[in-house]
């Protein structure tokens, strides 16, 4: 495994640093576990993404579900990106971060009446509609509120992708989108609707994808559909190709954004409208770490257990997708021979296991810190309070400055909501 360290999250003199701050110095000022992000790394990821897609004139809408902390959203918005959102909660956050409503795309299979009404009245720029039933409801609400709606149909292109089965979304049997065959009749049905303007197609085929092939295959189908619709007299002004671009979690595999952009440009060369992409993970994953303290090293067979103070509720990805995040000591000063550990959290579930037989220094001790690398995406946002555990604080480092960007939601505060 090659550690996915970055220009801004790296070892300096045996100490893991985020920019100019050592993790140990950050941890000395807060409770563990905590999430910590590098502002410079975030900006560098955004700029890299813009450099890949902008020369082709493509629009970037950050899939904010990957990390929706307000400070992160503000940073992203300041760089001129729009957002892809999937709930009224995300809409509220995007508004609070100052993102213009016209730069918002509302995706999701189960938008409720309340959510659609809120988004319609807010003036959300584009609705990606995922079913006949949703389009009916959207049309009814748009009529009631006398608001013009810009909508795209999300189609399910039914292509195979090389990722974990739980994060594919563009296969037959997945709940997302309509079939390609349904699109023409929906366009015909809403052709003269006074408030609904269907003018785009959308797709999102999955997440943590490592190859451009499924994009090429899916875009081919989308392009064929766009041509068919245009031949039938409809103008297709935008193609939203979703996100899913894979990052390196330590196995060396990732999807280079420049090659994705080139592939998209090639496959859509005959399309004259706007192309949108919705990266989430690739903008934030490697900019964040989860820092945790070792509570115990419990001797056992076949491996000792490294029992951490972080658990599956703080970082769900291992329990949900058998995902592995590189786990590293924050101080490699006394690094000696290697020992293999089973790395677990304190929750009363056997799935509260981050890694099995994981090689780390033999000299590790209880009380020392470890960091989970590449946890800026789908880390904090997916946490829960299971076992009545708190919601972790989040910190943002910029140079020598460390700022709390979310306070811990404490165990006592959680109880306050119960009557
Ligand atoms: N657009 C839509 C409509 C999406 O549903 C998603 C992610 C994205 C864009 C962004 O995909 P990304 O670029 O981040 O791969 N919790 C899982 C990932 C679920 C992704 C859901 N949809 C994980 O931790 O791997």
The answer to whether the pTM exceeds 0.95 is yes
- Ligand 1 midpoint to CA 209 (Å): 10
Q: Whose CA is nearest to atom 16 of ligand 1?
A: 378
User: What phi and psi values does residue 205 have, to the nearest 5 degrees?
Assistant: -95, -5
User: Atom 20 in ligand 1: which residue has the minimum CA distance?
Assistant: 207
What residue ranges line ligand 1, CB within 6 angstroms? 63, 66, 84, 107, 167, 204, 207-208, 242-245, 278-282, 317, 321, 378
Task: Report the candidate in 155, 171, 163 with the shortest Cα–Cα distance to residue 203.
Answer: 155
- What ligand 1 atom has the least distance to the C-alpha of 317? 24
The pLDDT, as a whole number, for residue 163 is 77
Residue 242, pLDDT score: 98
* pLDDT of 161: 86
**How many A from CA of 244 to the centre of ligand 1?**
6
Mutational test site, ligand 1, from 207, 241, 245, 287, max ligand atoms within 8 Å of CB: 207
pLDDT of residue 154: 97
Pocket perturbation via mutation, ligand 1, pick of 83, 208, 244 by most ligand atoms within 8 A of CB: 244
Q: Are 280 and 273 in contact (CB under 8 A)?
A: no
User: What is residue 167's predicted lDDT score, i.e. its pLDDT?
Assistant: 72
- 206 CA to centre of ligand 1 in angstroms: 7
Positions in the chain short of pLDDT 50: none
Distance between Cα 294 and ligand 1 center (Å)? 31
Q: What's residue 13's pLDDT? A: 93
Ligand 1 atom nearest 209 alpha carbon? 15
Active site residues: 348
383 CA → ligand 1 middle, Å: 16
| Of 247, 223, 224, 200, nearest in space to 59 by CA | 200
Rounded distance from Cα 193 to ligand 1 centre (Å)? 32
Contacts of 209 (CB under 8 A, 6+ apart): 161, 162, 163, 215, 244, 245, 246, 255
Average pLDDT along the chain: 96
Instruction: Tell which atom from ligand 1 comes closest to the C-alpha of 243.
Output: 13
* 3-state SS, residue 232: coil
Confirm if 3 and 328 have CB atoms less than 8 A apart: yes
pLDDT at 169: 75
> Which atom of ligand 1 is nearest to 281's Cα?
14
Give phi and psi for 324, each to the nearest 5: -115, 130
Report the nearest atom of ligand 1 relative to the CA of 382.
Answer: 16
Distances (CA, A) of 8 to 5, 57, 146, 202, 400: 8, 29, 49, 35, 12
Indicate the top mutation candidate among 76, 281, 287, 380 to test ligand 1's pocket, ranked by most ligand atoms within 8 A of CB.
Answer: 281
Smallest CA-to-CA distance from 69 within 336, 406, 419 is with 406
Which amino acid residue places its CA nearest to atom 24 of ligand 1? 378
pLDDT digits (tens, 9 = 90+) for 325-382: 999 999 998 767 999 999 999 999 999 999 999 999 999 999 999 999 999 999 999 9
107-279: in CATH 3.40.50.300: no
Taking the C-alpha atoms of residue 120 and residue 116, their distance in angstroms, rounded to an integer, is: 6
Write down the domain spans for the chain. 9-38+286-415, 107-279
Burial class of 182 by CB neighbour count within 10 A (0 to 12, 13 to 18, 19+): middle
Cβ burial, residue 143 (10 Å; 0-12/13-18/19+): middle
CA 207–ligand 1 middle distance (angstroms): 5
Measured in Å, residue 26 CA sits from the centre of ligand 1 at 30
**CATH 2.40.37.10 at 9-38+286-415, yes or no:** yes
* Atom of ligand 1 lying closest to residue 244 CA: 15
Determine the residue of 46, 62, 203, 280 to mutate for testing ligand 1's pocket, defined as the one with the most ligand atoms within 8 A of the Cβ atom: 280
């Amino acid at each position: 495994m090659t550690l996915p360290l970055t220009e801004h999250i790296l070892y300096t003199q045996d100490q893991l640093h985020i920019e100019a701050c050592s993790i140990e110095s950050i941890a000395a000022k807060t409770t563990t576990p905590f999430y910590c992000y590098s502002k410079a790394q975030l900006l560098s990821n955004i700029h890299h993404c813009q450099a890949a897609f902008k020369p082709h004139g493509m629009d970037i809408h950050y899939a904010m579900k990957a990390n929706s902390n307000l400070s992160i959203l503000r940073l992203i918005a300041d760089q001129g990106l729009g957002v892809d959102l999937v709930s009224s909660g995300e809409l509220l956050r995007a508004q609070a971060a100052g993102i213009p409503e016209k730069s918002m795309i509302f995706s999701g299979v189960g938008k409720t009446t309340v959510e659609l009404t809120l988004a319609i009245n807010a003036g959300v720029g584009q609705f990606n509609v995922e079913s006949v039933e949703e389009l009916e409801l959207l049309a009814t609400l748009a009529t009631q509120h006398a608001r013009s709606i810009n909508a795209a149909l999300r189609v399910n292109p039914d292509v195979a992708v090389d990722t974990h089965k739980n994060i594919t979304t563009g296969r037959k049997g997945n709940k997302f989108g309509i079939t390609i065959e349904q699109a023409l009749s929906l366009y015909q049905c809403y052709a003269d609707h006074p408030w609904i303007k269907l003018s785009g197609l959308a797709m999102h085929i999955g997440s943590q994808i490592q190859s451009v092939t499924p994009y090429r295959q899916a875009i081919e189908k989308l392009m064929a559909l766009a041509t068919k619709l245009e031949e039938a007299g409809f103008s297709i002004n935008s193609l939203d190709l979703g996100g899913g671009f894979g990052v390196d979690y330590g196995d060396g595999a990732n999807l280079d954004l420049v090659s994705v952009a080139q592939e998209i440009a090639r496959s859509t060369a005959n399309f004259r409208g706007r192309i949108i992409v919705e990266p989430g993970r690739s903008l934030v994953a490697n900019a964040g770490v989860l820092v945790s303290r070792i509570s115990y090293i419990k001797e056992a067979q076949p491996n000792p257990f490294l029992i951490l103070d972080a658990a599956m509720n703080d970082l769900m990805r291992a329990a949900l997708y058998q995902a592995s995040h590189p786990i590293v000591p924050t101080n490699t000063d006394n690094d000696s021979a290697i020992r293999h550990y089973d790395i677990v959290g304190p929750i009363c579930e056997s799935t509260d296991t981050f890694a099995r037989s994981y090689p780390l220094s033999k000299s590790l001790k209880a009380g020392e810190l470890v960091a989970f690398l590449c946890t800026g995406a789908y880390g904090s946002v997916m946490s829960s309070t299971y076992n009545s555990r708190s919601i972790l604080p989040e910190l943002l480092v910029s140079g020598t400055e460390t700022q709390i960007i979310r306070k811990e939601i404490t165990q006592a505060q959680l109880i306050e909501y119960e009557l």
